[in-house]
Structure 1
Amino acid sequence: MISVLAADHLQVPATPVTTDGKHTHEPAAPSRRSRRSRSVRAALALMPLIGIGALTACGDDDATEKAAPGNPVKVELSAVRGTKGVKAGDRLKVSAFGGTFTEVTVTDSKGRRLPGDLDHDGRSWSSSQKTRPDTKYSVVGRTKDRDGKAGEIKESVTTAKADKLNKLALNPSSQGAVVGVAQPVAITFDFPVTDKAAVEKQLKVTTDNNTTGSWGWVKDRSGKDRVDWRPKEYWKAGTKVSLRAELDGVDSGGGRYFAKDYDLNFSIGSHQVIKVDLDSKQLSFLQDGKEIKRLPVSAGKPDSEHSTWTGTFPLLAKEGTINMKSETVGLSNFYDKMVRDSMKLTDSGTYAHAAPWNSDKVGKINNSSGCVGLTDADADWLYAKVRVGDPFEVSGSSIRGKAEANNGLGDWMVDWSQWQQKSALSSSR
């Protein structure tokens, strides 16, 4: 703690003079008060010079400039906005008193440098980026006092904890997952991300074969912000993929911060594509571009309420036997069925599944409520073969047409150039 003593509290006894106005060589005896003043000054001289690591005040600049030449340069840490306390999201200011800076370096506990610049006269340094919450910053400054003597100061400051946090969910959701060739890296946020560029800058996808891809921002069907990394073309089989999201302390916008970093590693399985032709009422299962099996199907009725969506749908989940109810997807015709081999294609409730009640229509008539129905045996075979992320490419006549891009993982509903424009950093490409 720095003690500050006002100048008018120190009294120095006058030097005695003779009657002819000349100074004597023998000082007058000090008064009791002057002895106390010398004691105070001696105590101050012995006090260690401390910086402002705890953000203690150093006094104003004018007062410091009156200090005797040769005094060490003092520093003060504060927020650029002027407060002594540094909150998450503030920019840091380092000020010099009694001298100037020639260089200032600020790093966090992970060794990450906080960029910034000196002002024109070298008397202060301000960060060009916001500080992170609950983070200790170490400050090293090269200084010169008014006599030109070089020095160094070392200080630190810890920012306040964030009041609001943001969290996220990753897809694929498990480390080491093996997924299909259409699976994007998908990150869904609990709260809106208003500073998308700041977040995207901290996301990095690497592969073992330098796959070309891009981030794109979408809203999922529930209205949440999601950012996906999609390759330009389907992944190559066997590709190893890693995500590094260095988001700890990053402001997602509105003062809502992330409190950790995220890592994800997964790989791509064999090259499998499932093609569904609504007109021929056939499903083709392809591996490495070769048709392995063709299966008859019965898709949605050809009307505006039941026709099957077209487009490319990465398989969202293999859900096994589930209860399907018409009311959950807003259809007027009532049904309530236990359905096996359920393979989820959209968030709105489009599945490929076993449909024994339609067995006499499979391959002949599109008669479902929008799903792709198969016989029990064919559904069993397909369910055993597919994996999450395999693309179902649905084409043909459909009154409802192509599904919306946010209805599941619709990244492949747009072409590559359009997808790149969905990046928050597209203007900097």
Structure 2
Amino acid sequence: MGWDRAGHGDTAGRPARRAVVRAMALTGVAVGGASACVKGSTAQADDDPTRRGGASRSPSAPVITIEPGGEAGAVAPGGRVTVRVDGGRLTEVTVRAEDTDSFAGELSRDESVWTSTALLGPGVRYTVSARAQGDGGRDAAESVEITTAEAGETFVGEYSPEKNSVVGVGMPVSIVFSKPIGDKAAVERGLSVTCEPGVEGAWHWMTHRDGRDRVDFRPKEFWRPGTRVTLRMSLSGVDNGDGLLGTQQRVVKFRIGDAVVTEVDVRNKTMTVTRNGEKLRAQPVLISAGKPGYDTWSGTMVVLGKVPDLRMDSSTVGIYGPEAYDIGHVKWDVQLTPSGTYTHAAPWNEGKFGRINYSHGCIGMSTADAQWFYDQVHLGDPVTVTGSAERTVDTNNGYGGWNVDWEAWKAGSALA
């Protein structure tokens, strides 16, 4: 997962003052960092009157105003950046800061005012740069540094999946918060998911297994292979409802890979794997699932990760006494839940695959079959278990949200 650490400090700050500067006409301005481009290109300045139809006097350069201004001192976090131009139109605005991906904003219809939709975070030094083209053709540019007051405590969200990852069709967007979220609606307004092609999707709040607040986003159905997804976390300056301010401006892009879907039939003790609708084996894989009293979770789980070798100690999942075990090298382990559900090689159950369910809740198979399955699946691939006597896996036990009815899932949004 991605985990951000940002600055801390105190919320006191002085009101922002306007910083109005008549910008000199330029031939170009170097800009970088997180950018909100309002036009694709910026015209070059031209001080030769003969190249403007023979005008005898050069027109004035436009005036750019940036609020809050650099002379305002440490401004209170939680406000917005506004850039205005008098006598022209804005062609580019950038807001840069350390550890900040992007600072979103909106341009007015006449292209004279840009207002950030993101809020200023606490204890951050921002550089705001703007370019404009005047009504007479001249260019102008202005840059201002804005420093915000620090806050005593802040909060961040630990997100998954990571930037630039390729994940399975069952992978939700999941964010676990470092502090309790009292105003879930305000925080949810700072989150957005867009994708190409578009889908119907919704956020759903829950309590993470460790007691922290968590919110997941999933589409109504599994993602379509090849979908490109963008998570935007505009949480800087957002109040969690208890006076704690968010610090993050994150843009997390990832892609959906092939539709690798697994169905485990506990009653028949088989496992079938398809990729993009095609079976990968003519015959199902023979498995041995959880025995009575240790039945495998029912419902859809999602691959959380995998390792080729793992020690399995039953004390870590609360199994002691005659049923206890401690196996040093379990091969080809694919994790499905934090509570300890894996698929893995179980050579000690040789002869039981396809015949008897004899595990403590995991899905065991031969070493060869376990390695084959390990090679097929990746983070976010769904695994659905049917025919088990165990209840449906909890929503927060990994990514169990696919077991929630769609209407109930949508109702879990703070904005529903």
1:392 aligned counterpart, secondary structure: strand
Partner of 2:158: 169
Structure 1 stretches lacking a partner, 5+ long: 1-50, 55-84, 92-107, 114-128, 138-155
Partner of 2:170: 182
Between 1 and 2, higher relative CO (CA 8 Å, sep ≥ 6) is seen in: 2
State whether structure 2 residue 221 is matched by structure 1 residue 233.
yes
What code does the residue aligned with 2:384 have? Answer: E
What is the alpha-carbon distance in structure 1 between the residues aligned to residue 258 and residue 121 of structure 2?
42
Structure 2 stretches lacking a partner, 5+ long: 1-13, 18-73, 81-93, 96-102, 107-117, 127-144
Partner of 2:185: 197
Correspondence for 1:265 among 253, 263, 280: 253
Partner of 2:316: 328
**CA pair 259-324 structure 1, distance change in 2 beyond 3 A:** same
- Indicate conservation of the 8 Å contact 2:119/2:235, yes or no: no
Partner of 2:211: 223
What is the alpha-carbon distance in structure 2 between the residues aligned to residue 207 and residue 52 of structure 1?
38
Q: CA deviation at 1:290?
A: 2.9
Q: CA deviation at 1:413?
A: 1.4
What is the alpha-carbon distance in structure 2 between the residues aligned to residue 52 and residue 239 of structure 1?
44
- Indicate conservation of the 8 Å contact 2:15/2:75, yes or no: no
- Indicate conservation of the 8 Å contact 1:220/1:408, yes or no: no
Partner of 2:233: 245
Partner of 2:197: 209
Q: CA deviation at 1:217?
A: 0.8
Q: Which has the larger radius of gyration?
A: 1
What is the alpha-carbon distance in structure 2 between the residues aligned to residue 255 and residue 199 of structure 1?
13
Q: CA deviation at 1:317?
A: 0.7
Q: Spell out the pairing of 1:259-408 with structure 2 (5 A cutoff).
A: 259-293=247-281, 294-303=284-293, 306-332=294-320, 333-337=323-327, 338-398=329-389, 400-408=390-398
What is the alpha-carbon distance in structure 2 between the residues aligned to residue 135 and residue 379 of structure 1?
50
State whether structure 2 residue 410 is matched by structure 1 residue 410.
no
What is the alpha-carbon distance in structure 1 between the residues aligned to residue 371 and residue 104 of structure 2?
54
What is the alpha-carbon distance in structure 1 between the residues aligned to residue 412 and residue 257 of structure 2?
27
What is the alpha-carbon distance in structure 2 between the residues aligned to residue 111 and residue 380 of structure 1?
45
What is the alpha-carbon distance in structure 1 between the residues aligned to residue 148 and residue 168 of structure 2?
44
What is the alpha-carbon distance in structure 2 between the residues aligned to residue 86 and residue 385 of structure 1?
53
- Percent identity reads 42
What is the alpha-carbon distance in structure 1 between the residues aligned to residue 75 and residue 371 of structure 2?
61
What code does the residue aligned with 1:397 have? Answer: S
- Indicate conservation of the 8 Å contact 2:119/2:236, yes or no: no
Q: How many residues align?
A: 300
Q: CA deviation at 1:385?
A: 0.6
Q: CA deviation at 1:133?
A: 3.5
What is the alpha-carbon distance in structure 2 between the residues aligned to residue 53 and residue 163 of structure 1?
20
> Over aligned residues, Cα RMSD in angstroms?
3.2
1:252 aligned counterpart, secondary structure: coil
Using the size of structure 2 for normalisation, the TM-score is: 0.66
- Indicate conservation of the 8 Å contact 2:78/2:236, yes or no: no
Q: CA deviation at 1:260?
A: 2.4
What is the alpha-carbon distance in structure 1 between the residues aligned to residue 234 and residue 335 of structure 2?
32
What is the alpha-carbon distance in structure 1 between the residues aligned to residue 388 and residue 202 of structure 2?
31
1:381 aligned counterpart, secondary structure: helix
Partner of 1:423: 413
What is the alpha-carbon distance in structure 2 between the residues aligned to residue 300 and residue 111 of structure 1?
50
Using the size of structure 1 for normalisation, the TM-score is: 0.64
What code does the residue aligned with 1:199 have? Answer: V
> Once the two structures are superposed, what CA deviation does each residue of 1:217-265 show, in whole Å capped at 9, x if it has no partner?
1111111111111011001111111111111111123121122211111
What is the alpha-carbon distance in structure 2 between the residues aligned to residue 321 and residue 282 of structure 1?
23
**CA pair 157-276 structure 1, distance change in 2 beyond 3 A:** closer
- Indicate conservation of the 8 Å contact 1:53/1:157, yes or no: no
